[in-house]
């Protein structure tokens, strides 16, 4: 099986999902420590107005810092063209915009219809191309929506194709609400690949809300997915299911892959040590993970040969 890229999203998705604000210097220590452990890509912030997400107010400074770390691909989430321009100005290597496959969710979340979102994607694609910045679209609520329920797979494919025609270079299927199951993951990955091409349908952003996160990740790998998003300690929880874990736990995902002989390039022992930085900066914030609780099994080397 080919090498798999683990994209750490905790500094963005994790931190913007909790009320408290992590100090800027702690964010920098976290990002630097993960990069030192072998994490090659980190989504470090979001260029949403600080009035809406004060947790992300320092994103420009964080992007600038992260760009000084050799070999790290620095990703930023953007909500619109204005945010994209700010992310590009800050120096992000790649930008991503969430595009809800549920129109009800899109209207409530960003106040834009599907047609309006496609117009926004086209504008951002132009900005990214001019700046030579990679531009990805996250197909959010692709597996189901708490407002609409099931989302038609044909609709996901149609909107993915339209986004590609508007200039999106890469796609992620996002289980925003924790609805996905392995059979559905396989089916939808195949369908979107058929629509936009395998080289563009590369990534899964999965939640562990109902305990299926790693099973869904494995299903994606079996369909040729090469990038998996995860959050250290599953940070952020899930706003749609109080008390349930949110993002896939980075440490558990790395353990599963390395135990299978899949090379992530990450030193798991070093990664486990990074939790102390987050715990110190966010005292009392729940951190999830079976691997950190149980420890590594005897003879586990941390990085597959």
| Catalytically annotated residues | 238
For residue 188, give the 3-state DSSP assignment: helix
Tokens of 267: 């030193």
CA angle 253, 254, 256 (to 5 degrees): 65
Element (H, E) at 81: helix 81-90
CA distance 172 to 142: 10
Closest to 62 in 3D by CA, of 37, 40, 94, 87: 87
Residues in contact with 63: Cβ distance below 8 Å, sequence separation at least 6, in sequence order: 44, 45, 74, 76, 87, 90, 91, 92
């Amino acid at each position: 099986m080919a090498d798999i890229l683990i994209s750490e999203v905790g500094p963005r998705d994790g931190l913007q999902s909790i009320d408290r604000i992590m100090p800027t210097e702690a964010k920098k220590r976290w990002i630097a420590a993960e990069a030192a452990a072998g994490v090659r890509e980190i989504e470090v912030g979001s260029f949403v107005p600080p009035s809406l997400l004060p947790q992300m107010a320092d994103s420009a400074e964080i992007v600038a810092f992260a760009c000084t770390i050799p070999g790290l691909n620095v990703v930023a989430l953007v909500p619109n063209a204005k945010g994209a321009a700010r992310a590009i100005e800050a120096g992000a290597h790649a930008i991503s915009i969430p595009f809800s496959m549920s129109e009800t969710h899109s209207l409530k979340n960003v106040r834009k219809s599907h047609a309006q979102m496609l117009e926004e994607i086209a504008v951002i694609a132009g900005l990214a191309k001019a700046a030579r910045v990679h531009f990805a679209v996250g197909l959010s609520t692709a597996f189901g929506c708490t407002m609409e329920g099931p989302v038609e797979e044909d609709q996901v494919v149609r909107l993915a194709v339209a986004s590609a025609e508007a200039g999106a270079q890469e796609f992620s299927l996002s289980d925003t609400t924790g609805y996905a199951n392995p059979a559905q993951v396989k089916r939808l990955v195949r369908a979107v690949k058929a629509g936009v091409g395998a080289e563009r349908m590369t990534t899964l952003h999965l939640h562990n809300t109902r305990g299926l996160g790693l099973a869904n990740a494995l299903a994606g790998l079996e369909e040729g997915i090469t990038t998996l998003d995860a959050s250290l300690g599953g940070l952020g929880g899930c706003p749609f299911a109080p008390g349930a874990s949110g993002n896939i736990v980075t440490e558990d995902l790395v353990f599963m892959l390395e135990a299978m002989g899949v090379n992530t390039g990450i030193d798991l022992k070093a990664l486990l040590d990074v939790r102390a930085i987050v715990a110190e900066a966010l005292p009392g914030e729940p951190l999830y993970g079976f691997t950190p609780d149980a420890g590594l099994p005897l003879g586990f080397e941390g990085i597959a040969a």
